[in-house]
Amino acid sequence: MPDPSPRKEERHIVPSISMTIQIDFYVDPFSFIGRLWDVSSSGACLLFPIREPVVPGLVGTLTIQHPIFGDPIRLRASSLWVDRLESASYVGVRFLETVDFNTTFLKVLMRRSGGYTPVGSFGDLLSGTAFGSFS
């Protein structure tokens, strides 16, 4: 069983008010579409609409795509945990391969973040005002 302990390295929050980075977690034959919440060198937290039936223990291909520039990042990943809220699910994934983020569109985000700082309040997530709607 995968180790569900928190990542030990610095996490880089995606500023969702200024950008949305789409992700596709493909676990044959299903494709789960969501957005990147935060990223570190060994894993990420993904945000999915509540209707996406993501569960711990899935292994698949994670594609991270900026809406405007940069090539997509594709790598194998495993879901470690799921936290379901009223309107969305957070899913922790561990990367199963190494990524050199300095060669991707995420290099700016990885460089400028000061660590774990939530972008919006819990109330913003429930209302969908800060993060857009998953409907």
CATH code at position 25: 2.40.10.220
What are the pLDDT digits (tens) for 52-63?
999 999 999 999
Q: Which one-letter DSSP state was computed for residue 72? A: P
What are the pLDDT digits (tens) for 99-122?
888 888 888 777 654 443 333 333
Based on C-alpha coordinates, what's the Rg of the chain?
A: 14
What domain count does the chain have?
A: 1
Tokens standing for residue 123:
């109330």
Helices (H), the chain: 107-112, 122-127
Q: Which one-letter DSSP state was computed for residue 84? A: E
Angle at 73 between CA 30 and CA 34, to 5 degrees: 45
**Residue 92: inside a domain, yes or no?**
yes
Of 77, 75, 66, 79, residue with least CA distance to 100: 75
What is the span of the domain harbouring residue 23? 12-105
Q: Tell me what pLDDT residue 78 has.
A: 97
**Residue 134: inside a domain, yes or no?**
no
Residue 130 identity: A
**Residue 127: inside a domain, yes or no?**
no
What are the pLDDT digits (tens) for 32-51?
999 999 888 889 999 999 99
Other beta carbons less than 10 A from residue 58's beta carbon: 19
